[in-house]
Structure 1
Amino acid sequence: MSRHVTFMTIDDAAHYTPQERAAIVAAYPAHEREARARGIPVLGSGRIFPVAEALIACEPFRLPRYWPRLGALDFGWDHPSAAVELAWDTEADVVYVTKAARASQQTPAMQTLTLKPWGEWLPFAWPRDGRRETLEGAGVALARQYSAHGLNMLSRHAQFSDGSVSVEAGLMEMLDRMQSGRFKVFATLADWFEEFRLFRRFYWDAVLGAELPDGVDHAVFDFAV
């Protein structure tokens, strides 16, 4: 027996006008609005990113050609592999998530077919577990398997300018950007926002349940270099 969870928000209630939806949301206590209007759970000891979606969502727009762009890949199998594309407005120092994809049980060859249309020139950041060799890849490191299929992987795993790797520091960098208006996500990326809603910190400080924001974490590392 399989099961599926579908998220619906007040924005999906088309029988209300936008003005009526806004009035309904405004009537809720501020601390309950995300849960009541958008079904965002309030379990655990705190969300990793305690930021309202409205603060980071933006309408898609045509990217200036001169903005630096970077892909980021997070490896998975039963838990989905995921990828994002980021663009950086260097003048305003705002990072935009412009594309997102996720899929379970996809080989490097299959995932590369999905990502190459984003631009064969687009460089991809990747986490350090990409150095892991796999039986399926005949002992070839995972990142190299993607490279062999034509994905433009960076030569080293994502890290800060001093060579360190810290998930916590990366998350705090992202949170700081979100809270200061320097991190935006195209509002059409439903998969990304679904993971964002579930990305939580439990009492043992384990980071669980979200692949797409983690991919962004890798890319922010590399933009910082």
Structure 2
Amino acid sequence: MSRYVVQAGWDDVPHLNEQAKADLEASYLPHERDARRKGIPGLGEGAIYPVPEKEVVCKPFPVPEHFARAYGFDVGWKKTAGIWGAWDRDNDIIYCYSEHYRGQAEPSVHASAVKARGEWIPGIIDTAARGRSQTDGRRLWDLYIQQGLQLYKANKAVEAGILEVYQRLSTGRLKFFSTLQYTIAEYLLYHRNEKGLIVKEDDHLMDALRYLCMGIKQAITKPVQQHRIRTGIADSTAGY
């Protein structure tokens, strides 16, 4: 019995016009596109976000008050990382403006650094913190809640998160302040191996970035402080 293999992709389908192909291509990550467009099997080795640094890094500027803010938080004993984003809702652009990157410190130390950037800013945290313990057995999630942080569970769908980040990067809707040295360093090194698997080394901020982008709707603007108005009568004789 003879066997044969047919190799086909979008380029071989006559009913798809160029616009339809472009729309389909935009919905896939770069390492998946040859397989989809040309029918060429491949695992996809190389940079996960192949967008040049100069296109995603911008000069720092004062963040407007009306930009909503949140941070992604990847916690652990060896390394804890956080990245803060300011969301321009009108143009759907996230500006990453601050980072936290430190290892082997107690949750109280990390929490202090987080709160210094604004106690009102919500965080989107790695859900593994619910089951991950310090050496004394206490869960990291509980420890951070006890420190007064406002936290939400992160969406940890890895490939969906990477696609969301990539689409923002490639369309100019995600920017890094040039002061984020650790974030930019991880961004440039973040890659897949020859088997198409993400290399899980020095990627804590990239994980935090995924959590931030996937959970950006949790971002809020700074609450307006309410000033109490005195209603008592200052002079009981005059009546005012």
TM over 0.5: yes
Counterpart of 1:217 in structure 2 is 210
Separation (CA, whole Å) in 1 of partners of 2:76 and 2:58: 28
Q: Distance in 2 between matches of 1:88 and 1:193?
A: 19
Give, in whole Å, the separation in 2 of the partners of 1:169 and 1:199.
16
Q: Is this contact kept in 2: 1:121–1:152, CA < 8 A?
A: yes
Q: Deviations over 1:79-116 (max 9, x none)?
A: x2100111111111111111011011112111112111
Q: How has the CA–CA distance of structure 1 residues 224 and 207 changed in structure 2, closer, same or farther, with 3 Å as cutoff?
A: farther
TM-superposed deviation, 1:50? 0.6
The answer on whether the counterparts of 2:134 and 2:140 sit within 8 Å (CA) in structure 1 is no
Does the CA contact (< 8 Å) of 1:59 and 1:187 recur in 2? yes
Matched, 1:147 2:145: yes
Shift of 1:219: 1.0
**In the TM superposition, what are the counterparts of 1:201-216 in structure 2 within 5 Å?**
201-204=192-195, 205-209=197-201, 210-216=203-209
Kindly indicate whether the alpha-carbon contact (under 8 Å) linking 1:98 and 1:186 is maintained by their aligned counterparts in 2.
yes
Q: Please give the TM-score of this superposition, normalised by the length of structure 2.
A: 0.68
- Contact kept, 8 Å, 1:201 with 1:208, in 2: the verdict is no
Q: 1:72 touches 1:219 (CA, 8 Å); kept in 2?
A: yes
Task: Tell me the equivalent position of 2:154.
Answer: 158
For residues 95 and 182 of structure 1, the distance between their equivalents in structure 2, rounded to whole angstroms, comes to 6
User: Matched residue of 2:48: which SS?
Assistant: coil
| Mean Cα deviation higher: 66-75 or 206-215 | 206-215
Taking every aligned residue pair, what percent have the same amino acid on both sides? 29
Shift in Å at residue 199 of structure 1? 0.8
Q: CA RMSD in A?
A: 1.7
TM (norm. structure 1) is: 0.72
2:169 is aligned with what amino acid?
M
Q: Aligned partners of 1:128, 1:137: CA distance in 2, in Å?
A: 19
Moved over 2 A (4+): 135-138
Q: Report which stretch shifted further, 140-149 or 120-129.
A: 140-149
Shift of 1:207: 3.9
Structure 1 residues 196 and 170: CA distance shift in structure 2, 3 A: same
* Whole-Å separation in 2 of the counterparts to 1:202 and 1:75: 25
Q: Is the radius of gyration larger for structure 1 or structure 2?
A: 2
Cα pair distance change 1:98/1:137, threshold 3 Å: farther
1:224 positional shift: 5.0
